[in-house]
Chain A
Amino acid sequence: MSTTTLKSPVSAQAQPRKHTAHKRRTSPGWFLVSPSVMLLLLWMIVPLGMTIYFSLIRYNLLYPGENDFVGLENFEYFVTDTGFTPGMTNTLLLVGSVLLISVVLGVLISALLEATNFWGRGIVRVLLISPFFIMPTVSALIWKNLIFHPVSGILAAVWKFFGAQPVDWLAHFPLLSIILIVSWQWLPFAILILMTAMQSLDQEQKEAARLDGAGPLAIFWHLTLPHLARPIAVVVMIETIFLLSVFAEIFTTTSGGPGFASTNLAYLIYNQALLQFDVGMASAGGLIAVVIANIAAIILVRMIGKNLTQQQ
């Protein structure tokens, strides 16, 4: 239904313009778009096709030449693998918690920044968004060695200061630690987007509400939050894409352990593929990741895809 309502205004606009362009000379349109479209089409179809093919055959780099068709056997093995259930649970926990943390704190922090004008607001903004620009391997190792380290880490010092026994974060709370690291990287992204969105909120409208006697909380709830609906959806969508593939942070800190305690789907597939050389099973896992990403994408695009085009 949404597509039909979408189409009509677009084609109504496009039609006359196309005609005038045609009169003068043929439109350069497709000639200029096609390189990008062709490349992206190849990028989507070829590897995906190969993944589907690999997932249906026996294909282990350690046993070359034995490439029989095995149907859904790879999927069966992947799903019944001891790592599968923890991998799936950890993926959902990781994506869910980081989304929750970055959206809730992101809204609160950007609202705090926009609430009043205070000394050094520009610097505060720069400090807040900085972690987003730190490369994943650096964030992971800095947190592992300078923050989480049970002997010389900052948290150990804080714990000792309060007379508590320092915690070996990555060994005892591996998933929580990964969630903290990844949230630290992605909360600034939410702040960056939401802060910019808040600045576009009509100040006069806010002033009018204030004069009508609305308190700051009422303004926040009835004016700011509805205005943020779309930016929040954008944050959720983009973070979901990246969070489903979190890899470097796990690779450089816990290697998915202890056991499978911090293994997510991405790391599990990497493990099957490049450590156990089982291409078939890794491909089956890869397809499962694709399906999950697409379920999330369909839901999210339904929510905001309409917004994206309507606004143009």
Chain B
Amino acid sequence: MLTLKQSRRLQSVVLGALAWTVALILFFPIFWMILTSFKTEIDAFATPPQLIFHPTLENYLHIQERSDYFHFAWNSVAIAFGSTIIGMLLAVPAAYSMAFHETRLTKQTLLWMLSTKMLPAVGVLMPIYLMTKSLGLLDTKLSLIIIYTLINLPIMVWMVYTYFKDIPKDILEAARLDGATTVQEIVRVLLPISKGGLASTVLLSLILCWNEAFWSLNLTSSSAAPLTALIASYSSPEGLFWAKLSAVSTLACAPILIFGWISQKQLVRGLSFGAVK
């Protein structure tokens, strides 16, 4: 007969083992991708799949000449940061005014912003495509920066809003009584207090922009194509390309994976529009 303590420990070991199994299964494709990126093409295609092999850095060393990686990576970086900066410049003032100068329309405005996310991208594919084309913005970074800003703006406003809501009004009130202008109030008082929340908003926006793959595939071809589009070009392969694909994919996903790990808890707030904290 087990004592209570023993049975609790046994339970913890069994459930722990189960959790590890599930986690390893879900993570397996990523693990396998990273592993394959260090194989030669021959090893990568071998049957049965090989766990033990001579690792090689060849796929990474030749990544630039084979696929012009940095061109696409730069596009991803420029688009993600461009859109995030513009998005924050729009979202912070909006969230500030809704959190601290609430009016009768604030709730409705917030819910309406959320509802703009209900417009499926395919619903406006044609007009956006034709507008971008007639403005000469097809295959430019600018078009994606504008579109990503608009797609992510509701999420950013909501996320910043929920962080601002947590800040006691008295602090701002005090600054105001000391004669601070609205701009000073935001820059000197609000931003320093909420920098953690703002940082997670920035991270979420970067993640969403980096991984977006509807507009990037439809509106870019080469000069403004980000990494999502580079990877998609591997869908029509020539010869053995598993290891190459894995190396490019690993490089493309690594920064975002790390961002995600760092900010997992804070992301929940933005992704759930503040409903789960």
Asked if chains A and B come from one complex, the reply is yes
**Contact surface of A with B, Cβ cutoff 8 Å:** 6-7, 10-11, 13-14, 17-18, 21, 24, 27-33, 35-37, 39-40, 43-44, 46-48, 50-51, 54, 109, 112-113, 115-121, 123-147, 151-154, 156-157, 160-161, 184, 187-189, 192-193, 196-197, 200, 230-231, 234, 238, 241, 244-245, 247-248, 251-253, 265-266, 269-270, 273-274, 279, 282-283, 285-287, 289-290, 293-294, 296-297, 301, 304-305, 307-309, 311-312
Interface of A is mostly: helix
Q: How far is the CA of A32 from the CA of B27 in the complex (A)?
A: 43
Interface centre among B46, B107, B249 (most CB of A within 10 A): B107
Q: What string of 1s and 0s marks CB contacts (under 8 Å) between B161-196 and chain A?
A: 010010000000000100000100000000000000
A294→B157 CA distance, assembly (Å):
22
Interchain CB contact under 8 A, A54 and B127: yes
Cross-chain contact B273 with A308 (CB below 8 angstroms): yes
B245 & A234 in contact (Cβ 8 Å cutoff): no
B244 → A minimal CB distance (Å): 11
CB atoms of B48 and A248 under 8 A apart: no
Known: A136-B228, A142-B249, A241-B120. A157 touches B47 (CB 8 A): yes
B210 within 8 A of partner (CB): yes
Cβ contact of A137, chosen from B23, B47, B231, cutoff 8 A: B231
Partner of B150, one of A13, A43, A241: A43
* A29→B102 CA distance, assembly (Å): 8
Bound-state CA distance A11–B75 (Å) is 46
With A152-B47, A188-B26: A112-B217 Cβ-Cβ less than 8 Å = no
The CA-CA distance from A7 to B199 in the complex, in Å, is 33
- Is the C-beta of B29 less than 8 angstroms from some C-beta in chain A? yes
Residue B84 lies at the interface, judged by CB distance under 8 Å to chain A: no
11 A-B pairs within 8 Å (CB atoms) are namely: A10-B107, A21-B101, A28-B97, A36-B90, A36-B153, A36-B157, A40-B153, A188-B26, A192-B271, A285-B122, A304-B275
- Closest B residue to A247 by beta carbon equals B214
B224-235 to A contact mask, C-beta < 8 Å, 1/0 = 000111011011
Shortest Cβ distance from A285 into B: residue: B122
Which listed residue, A36, A192, A231, A283, touches B94 by the CB 8 Å rule? A36
- A11 interface neighbour in B19, B104, B124, Cβ under 8 Å: B104
Cβ of A128 and Cβ of B118 under 8 Å apart? Answer: no
Given contacts A138-B249, A157-B49, contact A43 B97 (CB under 8 A): no
| New A-B pairs, 11, CB < 8 Å, besides A27-B97, A147-B32, A308-B274 | A28-B97, A32-B96, A50-B127, A118-B12, A118-B13, A133-B253, A135-B227, A135-B252, A282-B125, A283-B127, A305-B114
By the criterion of a CB under 8 Å from any partner CB, how many residues of chain B are at the interface? 106
Provide the bound-state CA to CA distance between A143 and B276, in Å. Answer: 31
Query: Given the complex, which residues of A lie within 8 Å of B110, measured CB to CB?
Result: 309
CA distance A30 to B274 in the complex (A): 22
Contact A48 B124 (CB under 8 A): yes
Closest Cβ of chain A to B218, distance in Å, is 7
Minimum CB distance partner of B28 in chain A: A154
Instruction: Spell out B's residues near A (CB within 8 Å).
Output: 8, 11-13, 15-16, 18-20, 22-24, 26-30, 32-33, 36, 44-49, 90-91, 93-94, 96-98, 101-104, 106-107, 109-111, 113-131, 149-150, 153-154, 157, 162, 165, 176, 182, 207, 210-211, 213-214, 217-218, 227-229, 231-232, 234-235, 242, 245-246, 249, 252-253, 256-257, 259-261, 264-265, 267-268, 271-277
For B106, B124, B218, the residue with the greatest tally of chain A CB atoms inside 10 Å of its CB is B124
> In the bound complex, how far is the Cα of B249 from the Cα of A17, in angstroms?
52
Return the contact of B11 from the options A116, A131, A139, A265 (Cβ within 8 A): A116
Could you tell me the distance between the alpha carbons of A40 and B117 in the complex, rounded to whole angstroms?
10
Closest residue to B165 on the A side, CB-wise?
A: A312
Tell me what chain B mostly uses at the interface: helix, strand, loop, or mixed.
helix
Alpha-carbon gap, A123 to B261, bound state (A): 10
Which residues on the B side are within 8 Å of A312 (C-beta)? 107, 162, 165, 274
Residues A135 and B210 in contact, CB atoms below 8 Å apart: yes
Q: Are A297 and B210 in contact (CB under 8 A)?
A: no
B26 to chain A, nearest CB (A): 6
Out of A27, A145, A301, name the residue touching B242 (CB < 8 Å).
Answer: A145
Please name all residues of chain B whose beta carbon is closer than 8 Å to the beta carbon of A161 when the two chains form the complex.
48
Contacts of A245 in B (CB 8 A): 120-122, 214
Q: How far does the Cβ of A234 sit from chain B's closest Cβ, in whole Å? A: 5
Known contacts A192-B271, A290-B123; is-contact A142 B232 (Cβ 8 Å): no
Which residue of A is nearest B275, CB measured?
A234
